[in-house]
Amino acid sequence: MSREKTISVLDGWLMLVVTILIFALSVGLFIWFILDAAAADQARGLPNFWLLAGSLLIFGLGLFMCFGFFTLQPNEARVLILFGAYQGTVRESGWHWTNPLNTKLRISLRSRNFNTDKLKVNDKRGNPIEIAAVVVWHVEDTAQAVFDVENYEHFVAVQSESAIRRLASKYPYDHPEENSIALRSDVEEVSHVLQRELQERVAKAGVRVEEARLTHLAYAPEIAGAMLRRQQAEAIIDARQKIVHGAVSMVHMALQELMANKVVELDEERKAAMVSNLLVILCGEQEAQPVINTGTLYT
């Protein structure tokens, strides 16, 4: 496993001055050669070609040094490679100069968003569902990102899809078991699990996962209608349970108030009739129509 090694390089402004001086020296030698050639022509001699050769060599050195300049923005790094050997990583922003023979690979350290495609998988109970997520990540170790995987961006994309598929198969869509979680109801817990799982998978690429959250979660179209009817039935049952519980409480309170205030004395049969009527009124979906009884329960 590769490890990042941070190195320092020469300041670009300092090396710019040095490069200008080298070009100035080359121009000076060339002028000297021209003057020497003019003097040699008058004396019918040969000029000093070493001056010309030196001027050209120094000019070539200046051109060569120009390829060593590079800039770094904040949250950016350059990986330096010399003849296949890793030299180090430059992280300090600014204008720099390094050996022109170094290969300078630019790596962005900024946070990135990756939206996965909608994946069709089976949850823990075998129900087909559609799931997608957004992953926020950044490069933490540039050496691992460059040398330990072929393409770290593609690596993150593939591992994200694999982690989401595994997550969906570990938990049910809804109705979790005891001491368990569900994809639909426990969003925060599911997000933390996904982040941990994905971090383990992309650690070898020198990547740090900042956040991973589900952006889409639904039943597959072929069972969506049936699951919707089931959810509606469950909602109706829950609502009915609350209505019945409230109605029983209200009837019990009414009987207690009547008995406590001695409004009327009711025997068991009249209590049963009153309870029946109140439950019908309170639990019915339509308004009850009152019926005036001019007689008694016994006639």
What mean pLDDT value characterizes the chain? Answer: 83
What confidence category does residue 39 fall into, taking pLDDT thresholds of 50, 70 and 90?
A: confident
Q: In what order do the strands lie in the sheet with 69-72?
A: 10-11, 94-97, 69-72
Q: Which residue has the higher pLDDT, 224 or 11?
A: 11
Cross-strand partners of 95: 71
pLDDT of 197-218, one tens digit each?
A: 999 999 999 999 999 999 888 8
Of 169, 78, 185, give the one whose Cα is nearest residue 126.
Answer: 169
pLDDT of 82-92, one tens digit each?
A: 998 999 999 99
Residues ≥6 apart with Cβ < 8 Å to 109: 75, 76, 77, 91, 138, 139, 142
Residues ≥6 apart with Cβ < 8 Å to 58: 22, 25, 26, 29
| Alpha-carbon Rg for the chain in angstroms | 41
Q: How many helices (H) and strands (E) in the chain? A: 7, 10
pLDDT at position 230 is 63
pLDDT of 233-286, one tens digit each?
A: 666 666 677 777 777 777 777 777 767 776 666 666 666 766 776 666 666 666
Q: Which residue has the higher pLDDT, 299 or 138?
A: 138
How much is the pTM?
Answer: 0.69
Q: For residues 108 and 126, is the Cβ–Cβ distance under 8 A?
A: no
pLDDT of 9-28, one tens digit each?
A: 999 999 999 999 999 999 99
Q: Which amino acid is at 292?
A: I
pLDDT of 126-170, one tens digit each?
A: 888 888 999 999 999 999 999 999 999 999 999 999 999 998 888
pLDDT at residue 80 tops 80: yes
Q: Which letter does DSSP use for residue 116 in this model?
A: P
